[in-house]
Amino acid sequence: MDNLHEPVLVLNANFAPINVCTTKRAIVLILSGKATLVMNGRGEIHAISRTFPRPSIIRLDKMVHRPRPRVKLSKKEIFRRDGYTCQYCGKRAKVLTIDHVIPRHLGGEHSWENLVTACAECNHRKGGRTAEQAGMKLLQPPREPSSSARYIFGRYVAQYQEWLPFLEGW
């Protein structure tokens, strides 16, 4: 991966995680005096006349007021919420689909509470019926995932363990 495009955790002035930006953007924020380096841990970037630390975490100098982020409803996030596991049989299949618990033609909505991950076999078996009509049960009821920092930025944690203390408790 190109060093300038690696993700950098952006903290608000109160140390609350608010965003992820590229290394290049983080360096620009630091050089313009809008942010300070909190953690390096990645070495250096060598320019012609200067050497810059490669930031892993930066903190904005001024407080940015934003509404609490929510997880956007998408196919990828449904799979992530459900742990890439069929919610009917519990298999971690290679081919996964999205299933409407209450089918759209029966008035089911396109919402967190009505969408689940299903393997192709279970989705086909259920067909255009409700789970009850098909004699199937969900492993757990679908719901909107937590908008905690740990969940929102969680996909980066495996690779960037140093972020973890800054994601806990928000």
pLDDT at 159: 87
Q: What is the pTM for the complete model shown?
A: 0.73
By CB neighbour count within 10 A (0-12 exposed, 13-18 middle, 19+ buried), where does 53 fall?
middle
Taken in order of first residue, the domains within the chain and their CATH numbers are 3-68+148-167 (no CATH), 75-126 (1.10.30.50)
Q: What is the mean pLDDT of each run of 10 residues along the chain (170 residues)?
A: 83 93 94 94 83 92 87 94 96 93 95 97 94 95 89 85 85
CA-to-CA separations, 84 to 98, 102, 103, 136, 147, in angstroms, rounded:
11, 20, 21, 19, 19
pLDDT at 33: 96
pLDDT at 3: 78
